[in-house]
Structure 1
Amino acid sequence: MSEHRFILQPYRGVGSRHTCPVCHKKRCFSRYIDTEKQFTFPDDVGRCDHEQSCGYHLTPKEYFERNPQDKPKHSDWSARRATPTEPPNPASYIAAETVAQTLHGYDRNNLFLFLKSKFGSDDAERMMREYCVGTSKHWPGACVFWQTDINGRVRTGKVMLYDAGSGKRVKEPFNHVSWAHSLMKLPGYNLRQCFFGEHLLPMNRGKPVALVESEKTALIASWYLPEYVWLATGGKSGCLNADALRVLRGRQVILYPDLGATKQWRQKLPLMKSLGIEATIFNFMDDVADDTDKSAGYDIADYLLQIEPDQAVLQSMIRKYPMLQKFIDDLQLELVSVERYDPTTETLLSTSNNLNNEK
């Protein structure tokens, strides 16, 4: 009998190696298996072979610490452990000074340039600073999504490269994803990820929370639908575990999974309920998406970007002031342009030119 019940899946050809849930590189991820074939781990429990550039490793021990309800209750579970369970090591943090040094140089940041082309320079910079997105020198044009927790401490930063024109991730000749703590070669670093945008929760206590997979999607959706606090899990599995989800206790949460991930995210609803989170899932996209959208793995940002910004501002105002729609209908008004909507004062600037009366 093996000394360890849970082991990394032995190599049995390319079919036994999978895509890493963090760096998204193919055929480099080894999953943990139960030698007694009584328990199946989620797909993100395993180790990435790219220890320097990625370093992702979620062990069975860490998984059961975060999800105690899944812990096997067999009598031999405790007997086969070599040592007593130790409390999890505290998270490591990156200095605020290091983060601050990246919050500039947006003119050479491809993600900023894309957001600027869609929403204008002022709103693009506001979103970057609000969500604590920096500029990285690791690749020309790269950005860094700093993961700042609810207490304002930075857990890590995901370094990514986007195309400034399309806003899509650059995947050729390789998938440009790395981690700040790995690039900085910080010794003994203990990574415990948190939601991207988590630091916005304390200042938005009255707003419901919307969860998406991609950091870029959280930024874009926050512009179109500012009545939510938009957070990103950082991947299909990402922060959907008990350890990370506890910051959402007592909040209303809507899950917006990417196309193809709805079933996996729906399985997290019982866990969220057990943590005191009132969660629902938005599956409208799965119902209306065509095969092309599904194969591309579209998310809500891909659909929101199809809405003209002026129209999005008007719809936001109508949601807040429903009588505005009746006013527009009765007077047969047509939207011409919206120069800027200020959500803090709830006013449109240059309102005299915003609506054109067709009568």
Structure 2
Amino acid sequence: MNRIDDAMVAATMRGYDRNNLFAFVAAIIGSEEAQRLMEMYRVGTSKHWQGATVFWQISADGNVRGGKIMLYDRLTGHRVQEPFPHINWVHSVLRLPDFKLTQCFFGEHLLPYIRDKPVAIVESEKTAILATHYLPQYMWLATGGKCSCLNREAIMALRGREVMLVPDLNATDDWRKKLTLFDDSGIKATLFESLEQMATDEQREQGLDIADFLIAEQTPHGILEQMMQRNPALRQLVDALQLELVGIEEYKPSESSLKSE
């Protein structure tokens, strides 16, 4: 057994109001656009952990190869790593008998429907979703891991397509080595190295990816960082008091305050 029933996928395509990743993405690009992209990429909500997300890996021929469950922080959009890395697989949680996981690219099911765009491949599923909003001239896929799916069998789904690899910082050298694999398979592929060339040492240490740069100035933390750059004293205050950003919300006057004006 190496596929999951479509009905299981459909059952997760709801509950976005309690999905932490949806909350993060919606805060940046709006709820309507966030829902469009989540549905487009077949991203579901899991009950395994409160607020968890399930990324379905569906092949170009429509087979559901697997579902990766992950928990994100609603505010930062980072994966929850404490007290342990919150990542699991649907087949493991459900203890499906004799299931054999054969991974494919996240978003691969879109390839037959989007034929007029070059393919861009990133590591993170979250990044593929956000990049689709900001850079829609590409068809974005994700490996779901540093070099997951960058193997001879998986890349066969990309035959006949123009491919650009967009690695995380510090993964550029590893992904450069994969270009030979594409060439040997008759697939035209290039490596996007601009991020690595423009990044600071601190950004490399953090292992940022293209989505971090695309949304840097639009998240609450990005807004705070801009404020601290304009006012160094604010950075000293934040550091000295070990302040933690709770959230930045749009001010909406109450009905009573409007009446009193």
TM range (shorter): 0.7 to 0.9
Q: Does 1:198 align with 2:100?
A: no
Q: Give the counterpart of 1:263 among 173, 193, 204.
A: 173
Listed one character per residue, the Cα deviations across residues 214-237 of structure 1 (whole Å, up to 9, x for unaligned) are 000000000000111100001111
* Whole-angstrom distance in 2 between the partners of 1:101 and 1:169: 23
Q: Does 1:187 align with 2:93?
A: no
Larger relative contact order (CA 8 Å, sep ≥ 6): 2
* Whole-angstrom distance in 1 between the partners of 2:102 and 2:63: 12
Q: Segments of 4+ in structure 1 off by > 4 A?
A: none
Q: Which amino acid aligns with 1:296?
A: Q
- Give the direction of change, closer, same or farther, for the CA distance of 1:146–1:112 in structure 2 (3 Å limit): same
Q: Secondary structure at the match of 1:204?
A: coil
* Whole-angstrom distance in 1 between the partners of 2:43 and 2:194: 30
Q: Normalized per residue, which structure has more helix?
A: 2
Per the alignment, residue 302 of structure 1 pairs with: 212
Shift of 1:280: 0.2
Q: Give the counterpart of 2:67 among 135, 147, 157.
A: 157
* Whole-angstrom distance in 1 between the partners of 2:68 and 2:95: 14
* Whole-angstrom distance in 2 between the partners of 1:152 and 1:121: 27
Structure 1 residues 1-359: aligned runs within 5 Å: 92-306=2-216
Gapped regions of structure 2 (runs ≥ 5): 220-261
Overall identity of the aligned pairs, in %? 55
Q: Secondary structure at the match of 1:280?
A: strand
Listed one character per residue, the Cα deviations across residues 101-126 of structure 1 (whole Å, up to 9, x for unaligned) are 00000000000000110011100100
* Whole-angstrom distance in 1 between the partners of 2:116 and 2:187: 14
Shift of 1:153: 1.1
Per the alignment, residue 233 of structure 2 pairs with: none
Shift of 1:270: 1.1
Aligned residues: 219
Q: Secondary structure at the match of 1:152?
A: coil
Listed one character per residue, the Cα deviations across residues 43-65 of structure 1 (whole Å, up to 9, x for unaligned) are xxxxxxxxxxxxxxxxxxxxxxx
Listed one character per residue, the Cα deviations across residues 120-172 of structure 1 (whole Å, up to 9, x for unaligned) are 11001001100000000000000000001101111000000000011111111
* Whole-angstrom distance in 2 between the partners of 1:271 and 1:287: 24
The answer to whether the 8 A contact 2:28-2:218 is kept is no
Please, what TM-score do these two structures have when normalized by structure 1? 0.60
* Whole-angstrom distance in 1 between the partners of 2:48 and 2:116: 38
Shift of 1:307: 5.5
* Whole-angstrom distance in 1 between the partners of 2:63 and 2:136: 24
* Whole-angstrom distance in 1 between the partners of 2:186 and 2:93: 37
Shift of 1:175: 0.5
Per the alignment, residue 46 of structure 1 pairs with: none
Please, what TM-score do these two structures have when normalized by structure 2? 0.82
